Amino acid sequence: MTSGAPYENEPVYQNAVKQLKEAAALLGLPDDVVEVLRHPERVLQVKIPVRLDNGKIAVFIGWRSQHNSALGPYKGGIRYHPNVTIGEVVTLSMWMTWKNALAGIPYGGGKGGIKVDPKKLSPRELEELSRKYFAAIADIVGEDIDIPAPDVYTNPQIMAWFFDEYSKIKRYPAWGVVTAKPPIIGGLRPREVSTGYGTALVAREAAKLALGGFEGKTVAIQGFGNCGRYAALYSVKWGAKVVAVSDSKGGIYDPNGLDVEKLFEVKDKTGSVINYPGAKRITNEELLELDVDILMPAALENVITEKNAPNIKAKIISECANGPTTPEADHILHQKGVIVIPDILANAGGVMMSWIEWSHNRMGCWLTDEEALDRLDKKMTHNFHEVYNEWQKKYSDHPMRAAAYAIAVDRVVRAMKLRGWI
């Protein structure tokens, strides 16, 4: 059944619906409940006129999708990217519903985006864009309604502008309206590392079960943004060997291992990891098919497909990006014996740390960086083993994603039933 919604024909949304239907089949949910779950509760589209430095006015289009609030206020990031579409934003908000439910934190799912290349804007233009976007969605967000955070090409500075603009509109300091703020205005320093930390952590736990340990195992990471770089840092800290990384300009490979601190320096100074000295240049596509123990896709969605899945040699895939593996590829990899730790589990470190930040903002409390990371480590370790054990007991004929989705969707459905929504 189709509803005529503008996002329904987009492939990324169709993949998300396939994943939902697979989970629903395992849970025995009727079609009408799936129909309720696959649509967002609200999608707001806004026009953002920005006066450029040359005096001309450019108009940008932005969205905020609020998928489901059965378990709590909507929660999810805002991305700035030239390829953002309404379908992508709606899909990401659905994935946030499952991610937050699986994480066991009191949030529903939301996501936002602006179709823009932020690299082409000056700092003043970027600030005007950010403030006008948040002013445009101010009526539907709030500490107990919808709590945005950073995503692709957004950062703590942009969160600071969001926080300030919303506080001006509401006429009080709304500390909890966004998370991943700069620490001086209520943020937590570990928030920056938390997504990559969590991705490396679940890979570490999977390696203990499937590879005899994490120490000495080889790791390839596609994407060296916030998530990819900290996944690399903690992988090395916990004893693994990062042998390949990439960004939008290409990748590098050294079977003897890469110096992660040097990679940070090269990326920050030159803009790309390809300028790292002494390593072999490879493409992003070649990186995915390297003979490594662990692969961490940390770029964009749909990079592992039915075309390249048969060539992937990694034994564990920990999904740092949202939706990097298509449903068809997921089944191919499962048949090969590859453990694919799904995005809604592997990259949940960011939203978990956001929950820690938000709850402390709401209570007026404080905690140390070490306490925050310790809470994240314990919670994500617990969540990984909970999903892994459920997978082995009930759903071992399916990819691990099936168990994660079954747990998450079941929690949302039970909340909706208790509240009388279905």
Q: Which residues are catalytic?
A: 111
**CA atoms of 143 and 359, how far apart (whole Å):** 10
Give a three-class secondary structure readout of 200-265: HHHHHHHHHHHCCCCCCCEEEEECCCHHHHHHHHHHHHCCCEEEEEEECCEEEECCCCCCHHHHHH
CB 350 within 8 A of CB 188: no
**CA atoms of 391 and 288, how far apart (whole Å):** 25
Q: Which two tokens stand for residue 398?
A: 């399916």
Closest CA to 222 of 203, 240, 242, 192: 242
Q: Which two tokens stand for residue 231?
A: 């996944």
The full DSSP string for 288-334 is HTSS-SEEEE-S-SS-B-TTTGGG---SEEE--SSS-B-HHHHHHHH
Residue 256: count of CB within 10 angstroms of its CB: 8
Closest CA to 380 of 70, 73, 95, 105: 105
CB 257 within 8 A of CB 243: yes
Q: Which two tokens stand for residue 400?
A: 């691990």
CB 112 within 8 A of CB 65: yes
Type of residue at 52: L
**CA atoms of 22 and 417, how far apart (whole Å):** 20
DSSP lists the bridge partners of residue 253 as 244, 280
